[in-house]
Chains A and B, each alone.
Chain A
Amino acid sequence: MLPAHPYATTVHTESRQATVERMLEVYRITIEANSIGDKETVAHGLALLKRTLDPQADLLLARQLSELYTIAETASRENNPEITAEILETLRGQWIARRRLDKIRK
């Protein structure tokens, strides 16, 4: 077996960081859209978040997140943007905290 390319590990780490950044960006766009009342983008963002959940990684968390996104979706549709904002901003904050923890552990 050929030794791994010296850049392979770095590329792998970078790609994981990039996916986390992308996820946070999805949250950011959705939160911003919610704050200006752009329901279409909110629905788009939440649908994307829901669609990209990976239940194989953690079934319980995937289910909890899915439920929260449904609540956020309904709230946005029923003109309760503050509920949508609370859910998305809390989750985004938790993901950022989680990313920091992972970095510290490394």
Chain B
Amino acid sequence: MTEKDLMEGLNHIEDSLIEEAAAPVRHRRFLRLPAAAAAVLVLGAGIYAAAFGLFPPHKNMSSGDQVLMKESSAGEEADMAAYEADQADDDVDLIPEAAMQEAAAGEAAVPEAEEWEEAAFQEAEAQEEAAEPDAGDMKEAAAPETEAAALTGKIAQQSAAKTLEKDGGPVRAGIAGRKELGEDYHAAADYGEIYDLLKAERDAREEQFTDSIAAPEDLAVTGTVSTTGTEAAAEDLAVMGTAPAAAAAKEAGTGAEVSTVTYAGNEEAAGYSVTNVMTEGVDESDIIRTDGKYIYRVSRGGVSMTDIRDGKPGETITLDIPEEAAMDTVEELYVDGSSLVVLGWRLPQQESFSTWDDVLQDEEADIWTEPSYTQTIAAVFDLTEEGSPVYTGFASQDGSYYTSRKVGDMLYLFTRCGITLPVLEKKDALTEEALNNWIPKVNGIPVAADCIYLTEKAESGILVSSLRIPSPRETVDAKFLFTWWAETYVGSKAMYLYYEKYLEGTEFTRILKLPYEDGLISAGAAAAVPGGIRDRFAIQEADGCLRVLTTDWGVEDARNRLILLDENLKETGRIEDIAHGEVVYAARYIGDLAYFVTYRNTDPLFAADLSDPSNPVLLGELEISGFSEYLHPWDKTHLLGIGYETDPETGDFRGVKLTMFDISDPVNILAESVRVLEGDQGSSAIDWNYKAILVSPEKNLFGFMTWRQTGTDMLPCYNVFSWDGKDGFIEKLRNIRKGYDELYEECRGLYAGNTFYVADEAHIYAFNMGDGGKAWDLIPQ
């Protein structure tokens, strides 16, 4: 029996299983239904109600969540108490009646508070308008989206402060800003509008369900485009489709000064490696990091710290995370020398697992039968005292951890969560306690209605908040957007959510821009560009403007284009029909130049000059065998490519390929050095996980993991190379593990002082980097 047999066997399973898996998802809030209660429910309300309408209250509040705001903690306590009673009765999960009665008193507070917040916003806005703008402000004021950005640190901060000072009124997370986000999104006027949207959605589903109870529907992934949505999308396409074509080629080699990108910060200057990130100055969390003194690892669901102050791995301790910030699983972490931020998630406390192993070993437990209100946690530790991290606090945010960024001491936390229609009449759903049960919360506080952006669909969404790391319980801002799925790119001035949609078989990418500054997150512009973004580095912000490389997924006539968008995401120029029939595999923008790799059987590396936003021009192209999956600026005149070598005739893979491109003349790009690691196969590092690649031109080294064919075995191998113009790529380390080890796929290479470490969840190997050209020696432990 082989895995192919299993694949084929799956082709013969019952149709009902396929239908079930293809059906739309009722989001994440699963009913906990004892058999008797379920029977009553089914008989009384019909099957479809269970499928679409009835959701339990939100009751994942930890004790830690209840310490900050009295206004919200009362509701949470009532909710928790009601839940315990609910548990004791082993009853169907509905909004507890007792809690609802208590909640009724707070009903009138909602509009009052919103009116107050709106007034505060308007007042602040008036102050801003009255202020004497300087030259920089004048420039920004020209664009409506940048007006929103200009609120940062000024108006909205005042509004936030007033919100927190308001006596007796409900406290909300998030600061109201611009109402519109492109044509398709707008901030909710109040919670009632959100309720109405969810109810309309639910009613439509019921109707669909009633019409065709067995019809499999999987439209949720791409979204069933409503009439309104279709028209809007068509308009988007029409706008983007009329972009000016690229003008004639620019005079060769003129004016294209090549700048370089380096991510060397204070850490590298201090002699230790940092995580490879997309945007300089915007840090990204990872599973393994170092501060030069310790190696911090996400390990077996927790965090371990290994002392490396002696230049080799010493004592390892497990981080003690207090109960209030307890996580079922740690996902990633930040360490910046003075603080450690641990990011993870937890399920409701009554069903939490203490370790990863518990989950794996608990064979009989069904972790999904309980309501799964995943909550993301950011626990903060002070690292001032070496070897003794001091817990200083935590932040909580509804939803499962998606990604995060850290700029200075500001943490931007992205979670995926939905908003589910409560099983209440509208007036009851808008009471303060009821809102606590169905509106997503940051630090236990519901997101303000006018920070929730609605579109035609209300399936699921992304919640982004900003939290100051020294005081994580104080939410600076929060925004929620309904969007089924979106990739995230965070530039230095704005964060962008983008996702693919289809309209009558045509693929396009919708981009939503959220400018940010010092924790304030504004609603910016939105756009739709044809095709899909194939590489994480194919989108980049530069001076507030955006560049994207997109590819149509067409079969025989794949088309690539490079589109330039201004601050308002209006197209200023594009290059069309690049590498007809090929697909973008890797991209990198360096200053006003774009480099990108397309591939079919050979690898053209293109260079394009973007210095004139209205007239981007292809400058040069180099065609060699194979292709690069990852590009990294090495110095002002060189670009490192890591990818694969292939047979140009057959396309057969031959191994991992390293290429150093000479880009001193973008018109005449050269492959200065090439090395093929024959027999090596790629890894997640090469294919998609840029954070698993270490690149340090300052140290003249780069490292990544491959799978190496050794005899009949495929063994994990960590590779480190240096490069110089004379000798090309010089092997410094080829650390091949003796046996198959899946953990090694997620290893990281780090250095501190003169020691290089290869670390995974369970192991750390140390190597003396020496001071010459020799390969490195393993340091015995």
A binds B: no
A contact set with B: CB distance below 8 Å:
none
